Each structure stands twice: as C-alpha cells, then as structure tokens.
Amino acid sequence: MFHKSFIVLSVAFHVLTCSASFAQAVDSDLSALIQQLSSKKFALRQNAMAELIQRGAEAVPELELALKSDNRELRFRAQRVLNSVEQNAYQLKLEAFMQNGNAAIKLPGWDAFRAIADSNSEARRLFVLMCRAEPDIMRNLDRPPSAISNQIAKRCRELQQIFRTYKRDSIKLGTVATLLFVGGIEGIRIDDTSIKTIYSVCNYNAFRDEMYTRQSNSTIRYTSDPRSEILRQLFAIWMKHGQSWDAQMAFNLAMQYNIRQCLPRALEIVHDEATPCHVAQIALVAVVRFGEKKHILDLESRIDDKSFCGVAQKIGNKLHQTQLRDIALAGAFLLADKNPRDYGFDRASYTTSKQLNYSTVGFADDETRGAARKQWNELRPTLKLPATKAPTDDAE
C-alpha cells in the first residue's frame, strides 16, 4: 500500500516538475524574443516581432514589462507588437459580434451606438464596418475623452494629406460614419480644423452615395433605408459642432441629403439671438424645408429681425437686399401652403421641397417689404396653429 502511494506521489511530483519546467522554458523563450526586439540585426528584430504577434495574449505580460525598459528601440517595437496583438484580438471579437449579435461580446462604443441606431442587424453591420475602417479609434472608445479627441485630430490630419493627393475615393463610408459618431459623443472635443475636415468628407462619394442616387434624367432620388437613416441621425447629432461658416456648411449638406433630423438644431439656432446672421439665415431656410405648419411660430421669432444677410441683387436700377425678416416671412407663407409670389415676393424662388433661395426674397425698399408684411397680417388670423400670436403691423 505504501509502495503504491509512493508511486502516485512520485508521478504527481514529476508532472508538476515538468509543468514548471515547461512554464519556465516558455517564459525564457518569451524573454529571449523580447530581448531580440532590440537586436542590432534587422532580421532578428523582425522575426522576433512576428513570433511574438503569433504568440498573442501569452506574450502580453512580457511586452508590457518591455514598455518600461530604458532601451528606446525595445519600447518602440514592444508597443508595435502590442498594437498588433490587440488588433488581432479585436478582429476576432468583431467576427463573434457579427455572428452572434448583442449577446456575443461587449465592444467599446456599442451601447452608445445602439442608443442612436437600435440593435438590429443593419446597425450591427454598419458598426462593424466602422470598427474595421477605423479600429484605432473604435477599439479605444472606453478610454478618456481627451485621448479619443486626440485620436480624431490625428486621423483628420491624415485625411488632410489624402485630400492633397486627390485620392478621395480611398475614403470609405466606415471612416465617415466613425468620425460623425465619435465626434457626436458627449465630452469629445473637436478642434476647428478637424470640424472642417469631417464636414468635407461628408461631401465625398462614400457618404453622398448612401444619401441619394442620381437618376438618368438628372433628378435625385433620396435613399430611405435603415442604413441611410442611421447615417442621417449620426450627422444630425454631429451638427452640434460648428458655430459659424461650419454651421452654414452643415445645413447646406443636411438639405442636400434630406436630413430632416437637423430640424431641432435649426430651431435652436433660430431662437438664439446671438446667432450670426449668415448662420441664422440658413437655419431659417432649413426650418422651412423640414418644418410643418406649426413651425410658423418659430419663424415669427425672426419676423421683425432687420439684420442684413449680406445678400444683394441688382435688378434693373434697383438693389434688392435680403434681411432675416424677409426669409422668415417668405418661409411663413410657404409653411402656410401659400405661394410667396402671390404675396409681394415677386422674385421668390424655391424648390418643390420648399427650400428657399434667400437671395430671391429681398426687397428694393421698405415700402414693398411692408406691403408683403401687411398681407401676412391679414392672412395670419385665418391660420389654425397650436398657439395664437397677435400679429403687429410693420410699415417698414
């Protein structure tokens, strides 16, 4: 009995000894590979990097120790290997996420994204597209906002280089969607140059082709499917960035792509008395384009605003100038389903979707402007709106 127990203990001790020896051998092997990262021989450095990447997660602890080394070359290559290991692991997570859905795995940023886009299969596909296009940004969304802001700024600088090489077709939808989504997250700060860059990429084919298709007769057919609507929502949230010419660009794009979700932002700007005139004018146009009859009340908040829009046209010997109150009044007629041309706006030009050309609603003098306003004052009591507001005569 004692002899059998002794044999069992001996075997167990041998197994433990072999396991410990194997672990030590593995650690020793990893340590040797880590040291080779700073070898004077290029081939050794490259082979060590490839082997460590292949080892994957088991190499991570040693690589993290290497990041604290005094050897600059070792730190540099250890960081590159770590990045590759993390990237490989991230790609495996993406595959699992796409195959198994929400229950598969938690990905950084997914909770915030599905709060905007729901959690259906189309939302997951777009999210994965974003993760594959911009993994350095997307897999780090659980980092502090300042670090994410820096990554966006870095990526935008890279995109600016692409602009200069005229390789605009190399910019993919996943990149545009990522920048819109991440830039819209609360707490993320975007510098002015990056804001301009992101609005610029929204004007490229990768994004434009998702918004509409051009028919054979040159007319535009707006796309309305789950993915295009998610993109419109991302753009509308992103529109919080930009207070001056950037905001003007944003509303122009929103109307070009039929992004109705921008209406709340347009209303916010219209009611903000500190809004620059060149921004308020395009916001008024957006309210008319995407608004309803009830939004006449919002237009009326600017119906006495005499701010000059900087738009003037000379017709014959008369100079027609557009003020904010002119856009608000012409827009009010449109939302009341009236043709502004029948109410004193003889040159008014607008599309079938009620998008005003604000350069065509100005007046040559305050007498004709006052006549148009008088007709509005007569029409206004006949309109059924959510609330009533007594009109005032404006002879000017």
pLDDT at 38: 77
Give one DSSP letter per residue of 318-378, joined into a string: EEEEEEHHHHHHHHHHHHTT--GGGGT-TT--B-TT--B-GGGS-BSSHHHHHHHHHHHHH
Q: Compute CA distances 306 → 6, 163, 298, 303, whole Å.
A: 102, 40, 16, 8
Rounded average pLDDT per 10-residue block, the chain, 396 residues? 47 43 51 79 80 73 78 82 70 70 71 88 90 90 93 94 76 95 93 92 93 87 94 95 84 96 95 92 96 96 93 86 96 97 95 93 95 96 74 46
Amino acid at the residue 160: Q
> Quick one: how far is CA 335 from the chain centroid?
30
pLDDT for the residue numbered 13: 42
Cβ pair 329, 303 in contact under 8 A: yes
Angle between helices 110-117 and 121-133 (to 10 degrees): 140
pLDDT of 22: 35
pLDDT at 60: 72
Q: Which residues sit opposite 319 in a β-bridge? A: 314
| pLDDT value of residue 202 | 94
* Cα–Cα distance measured from residue 42 to residue 47, given in angstroms and rounded to the nearest whole number: 9
Q: Is 101 left (phi over 0), alpha (psi -120 to 50) or beta?
A: left
Predicted pLDDT of residue 75? 82
pTM of the predicted model as reported, rounded to 2 decimal places: 0.76
Helical ranges in the chain per DSSP H: 2-36, 42-55, 60-66, 72-100, 110-117, 121-133, 135-138, 145-165, 173-183, 192-201, 205-211, 226-238, 245-256, 263-271, 277-290, 296-299, 324-335, 366-379
- Contact between 318 and 347 (Cβ < 8 Å): no
